[in-house]
Chain A
Amino acid sequence: MKKILLVDDEPNIIMAVEYTLRKNNYEVFIARDGEEAIALAEKLRPNLVILDIMMPKVDGYEVLEYLSDHDTLKNTTQTVIISAKQKESDVDKAIELGAKAYIKKPFSMKKLLNTISELIIQKS
């Protein structure tokens, strides 16, 4: 079972996404801010991270940076951004920092699932 780390600070969003992912046979872990995300990623080596950008303490960009600079994680772990940030510059920045996909909030669950499964199939 593929491991997915879900990072967001909105409990209601987490709840809906977590439910959907589990139903589609992913192993899901939750982080509520950037700091927690980095700690969990280090520990769990997830196949994929679903990452929000606007979060307290350490924001999504910093997490992205950490992941793509990491010796092993940069090869094992792919990142999908989910954010309310709409500007092209925000998208570009995230892609530059190593995100594999950028999904704007509010998103459709179907799209999120498709993106994730595509990325995971590509990788394997």
Chain B
Amino acid sequence: MSKIGLIALIFMYLGILFLIAFFAEKNKGSKLVTHPAVYALSLAVYCSAWTYYGSVGMAARTGVEFLTIYLGPIIAAPLWIIILKKIIQLSKVYNVSSIADFISLRYGNSRSLGALVTIVCAVSIIPYISLQLKAISETFEIVSTSTLGIEGSSVITDSTFYIAIILAVFASFFGTLSLDASKQRAGVMFSVAAESVLKLTFFLIVGIYVTYYVFNGTSDLYQQASLNLDLNQLSTINGLSGGINWYFSLALSFLAIFLLPRQFQTSVVEFNNRKQLKTSIWLFPLYLLLFNLFVIFIAWGGLLILGKDINADYFTLLIPLHFGDHWLAIIVFLGGLSAVISMVVVSTVALSTMLSNNLIIPYGFIKTLTKRKSLNNEKIIKNIRRVSVFCSIILAYLLYALFNPEISLFSIGLISFLIIVQLAPSFFIGMFWNRGSALGAKAGIVIGMLIVVFTYLLPFFTENIFSNNQFVANGLFGITALKPYALFGIELLNPVNHALYWSLLLNTGAYLILSVIKKGNYRERNYGEMFVNTSKAVELKENAYVWKGEAYVEDIQNILVRFLGQSKADKALRVFRKRYAVNPEDRLADARFINFSERLLTGAVGSASAKILISNVAKEKPVSLVEVLHILEENRETISVNKSLEAQSQKLIKLASELKSANEELKIQDQLKDDFLDTVAHELKTPITSIKASSEVLTEGNDMPEELQQRFLSNIIQDTERLNVLINDILDLEKMASGRDELTLEYQSLNSCIEDAINGIRSIAGRKNIQVEFNAKKKVFTEFDYSKMLQVFTNLLSNAIKFVPENYGIISVSLEENSEEISCKVIDNGKGIPEEDIQLIFKKFYQSKNQTFKKPIGSGFGLAICKQIVEMHKGKIYAESNLTTGAEMNLKLPKQNT
């Protein structure tokens, strides 16, 4: 393809990326953009051009060692998730926007530490970015066929320069949409995820092409390779020293996955929901595995086809070109471009945040920003970030222009790792050891960096750029113990791992020793506590940091307005007041408000600047260590007190609802009682009315025939008897209910009791033509109170009589026993009991509305009395009903073994 055509294609491709990012920003909340897979795929920004081209080169030169860079994260995925969770929790609570912010915050908002970390990141990343640009330029030259037209010799005519500028525009636009740098950047992340899909797909295509199209599958490739190549060197670990090297390389890549600014950006800053971690725990390792599936085969294929003298980094392009498949080379080129773009964009976004929030603003602009007449600093802060983006990329471009083209992608990548890993001790140990101090962290990082320079960078440049072996061969000043690749005689490790070993050892040592020797100030200790006890800190939020001093709400409010804008500051204030129920009239700010404001400012200007801003208007008093621990404890106590209060109030609520339902039950009972009294009154009045009427008739009626007089008199007697029964019933029930009644127990036949009861109602039944049957296979003996049980059976039977139809009524009583209980049933063919009444009928005062018989003889407590009696016998009575066949009363008595 011609250069112009290729350039057109590249710009079209970049245009599409802009559109994708726009789409994602517009549809921020949509399912697609917030899908957990997007997060997992954005983590694959880890696979830069170094992976895309460099790992093939590495595999061709040194064999399987390239795998360590990917195996590290894969092997450690479970641990990675656990630690990441902690980092994410802390970062979200304190609005952390970069790794520099994270470390600076851990060591008490240390401004100098934040700046140091930023510098380390910049030193690590900018050469890395230039490496990516180099990859674009080189692959561009390979893929473009015509040598006519533009030549990549000067900046003005170099297409890479323009690509770099476009990336800078992209990163500065989509990376700084929100002032709060800890907020998510949906557009950038979505386009990165899309690019991750593209680069993997294209890489797999070329892998399949080489393995199955150029060769006949993996076994064919292996056979040819084993005949023509030194496979022993290319596919084994190489003994003990190789093993140790593997170990260190794995460790290196494991640490880098946390510390690389672009990884921190994608995994922590852009994190926004829990599902994302669940998906990435399998998707991300799977992605890395897939990416490495064909690396070794492409490397072998390239060696077999093109030989050892060709730059193996670009086998993926050169093999298709060798066979005349230009289209495939272009596809591979676009995949590489994707890898570069995502890496450069994310890295510069991360770097620009650090540069602005941890270096430029706290050291250069903080005074200007606070003293400016204009109240809105948002524009300035955003512009600082944008300029940082451009500066980083341009700096990287200049480095690229100066780079020796002979340096392989892989070694520059490793340098980047080596530098960034110097943050590991202060980063990791600081999260689990509360005594780590800012001084220790700074010293460790500086010493580690010096070691890296001495044991790797210096010899690397003397060798590769000045082609001078003197320094490596003889050591510094000719002292063999100071040979850069074999410090103090350790020769087992390859240069990278050797540098890693010494730098990390001394870095960690310095960190630990200085932290122990010289305690950090109260601020460091307080944040140390918070970082170590993450869950407590997350729980306590604004209460976690112990602040003592004096500040005015108004002053702090002014700062918030200045740095967040009027509307955001107002909103934040409202949120705060609502959360803590703070009186808006309070003029003095409390610790919570100080911490809350500092958190907000951290998102905008970084933790160090946030602290400076607050301390400008607030007189903070030093807090002693004991106090820090004490107040933290106290806070925890307050929380536990709050929790127990909450539990208490839950209990009270429960109790109240219980009382309410009890009250309702009482109301129902009360209503039932009212109804009962009405019934009783009615029942008492009916016979009295009759007695009164009959007596009046008798007194007036001198001329009444004797026969009639007799009938009125007998009516009076009948009614007085009825009154008597009624009153006895009430008294019975009352006596049993209050437990004053005792049973006269006797061991006797239940059959005869039932028979007596049936005989008692036989005359009434006979009059109404109701059939009463009694079925018992044998005589059942047990201990019971005869007269009371007779009352029960009589009651059940007379109830049944009330409900069965005249002339067709059938009442059948059955009695049987088993080893455990005696069971008696009274079944009728009456109207049955409505479902809703089944439970109610045994309550006192209940009268069914369904009676066909003229008047209830009893008056509403027949069944209640039955229930009392049966329960006194330790038995139970219940009803079953079927409105089509009638009612069935069940009576169970326990079997006594006497």
Contact = CB atoms under 8 A, between A and B. Distances in A.
Interface of A: 9-10, 12-13, 15-17, 19-20, 23, 32-33, 54, 56, 84-86, 105-110
Interface centre among A15, A32, A106, A108 (most CB of B within 10 A): A106
A106 B692 contact: yes
Q: Which secondary structure dominates where chain B touches chain A?
A: helix
Nearest to A108: B696
Residue with the highest number of chain A CB atoms closer than 10 Å, among B689, B712, B715: B689
Nearest to B714: A12
A16 B690 contact: yes
Nearest to A54: B682
Interface string B691-710: 11110110011000000100
Given A12-B715, A85-B682, A86-B681, A105 B689 contact: yes
Interface stretch (B269-277, B664-672, B850-858): B850-858
B682 A84 contact: yes
B719 interface: yes
Contacts of B696: 16, 20, 108-110
Given A12-B715, A12-B719, 4 more contacts: A23-B701, A54-B682, A56-B854, A110-B696
B853 A56 contact: yes
Contact of A56 (B688, B689, B694, B851): B851
Given A19-B697, A54-B682, A84-B682, A9 B854 contact: yes
B854 A13 contact: no
B718 interface: yes
A86 to B, nearest CB: 7
6 closest A-B pairs by beta carbon, nearest first, are A16-B693, A84-B685, A106-B689, A12-B690, A105-B689, A12-B715
B855 A20 contact: no
B660 interface: no
Contact of B690 (A13, A54, A85, A86): A13
B854 A33 contact: yes
Interface of B: 678, 681-682, 685-694, 696-697, 700-701, 708, 711-712, 715, 718-719, 851-855
Contacts of A85: 678, 682
A20 B695 CA distance: 12
A10 B690 contact: yes
A9 B690 CA distance: 12
Residue from B853, B854, B855 with most neighbouring chain A CB atoms (10 Å): B854
A56 B719 contact: no
B686 A84 contact: yes
Nearest to A33: B854
A19 B708 contact: yes
Nearest to B854: A9
A58 B697 CA distance: 29
A108 to B, nearest CB: 7
B637 to A, nearest CB: 61
Contacts of B682: 54, 84-85
B48 to A, nearest CB: 90
B690 to A, nearest CB: 4
20 contacts: A9-B855, A10-B686, A10-B690, A12-B687, A12-B690, A15-B694, A15-B715, A16-B693, A16-B715, A20-B697, A54-B682, A56-B855, A84-B681, A84-B682, A84-B685, A106-B689, A106-B691, A107-B693, A109-B697, A109-B700
B459 to A, nearest CB: 109
Contact of B854 (A19, A20, A32): A32
Nearest to B692: A106
Contact of B693 (A23, A32, A86, A106): A106
A105 B708 CA distance: 23
B718 to A, nearest CB: 7
Given A12-B718, A16-B712, A105-B686, A56 B852 contact: yes
A95 to B, nearest CB: 19
A54 B708 CA distance: 28
A106 B712 CA distance: 16
Contacts of A106: 685, 688-689, 691-693
A13 B696 CA distance: 12
Nearest to A9: B854
B686 A13 contact: yes
A106 B691 CA distance: 9
A17 B689 CA distance: 11
B213 to A, nearest CB: 97
B694 A16 contact: yes
Nearest to B686: A10
User: Which of A9, A19, A33 has the largest count of B CB atoms less than 10 A from its CB?
Assistant: A19
A81 to B, nearest CB: 13
Contacts of A9: 854-855
Contact of B692 (A20, A23, A33, A108): A108
A29 to B, nearest CB: 18
Nearest to B703: A23
A12 B711 CA distance: 9
Contacts of A10: 686, 689-690, 855
A84 B689 contact: yes
B482 to A, nearest CB: 112
A86 B685 CA distance: 10
A109 B693 CA distance: 7
Given A12-B719, A19-B697, A105 B685 contact: yes
A44 to B, nearest CB: 22
A84 B859 CA distance: 15
A80 B686 CA distance: 17
Nearest to A90: B678
A111 B529 CA distance: 96
Contacts of B694: 12, 15-16
Contacts of A110: 696
A13 B690 CA distance: 5
Nearest to A16: B693
A56 B852 CA distance: 7
A102 B701 CA distance: 26
Nearest to B718: A12
Contacts of A56: 851-855
Contacts of A17: 693
Contacts of B692: 106-108
Contacts of B688: 105-106
A10 B689 CA distance: 10
A23 B697 CA distance: 10
A77 B852 CA distance: 29
Nearest to B678: A85
Nearest to A83: B682
Nearest to B688: A106
B387 to A, nearest CB: 88
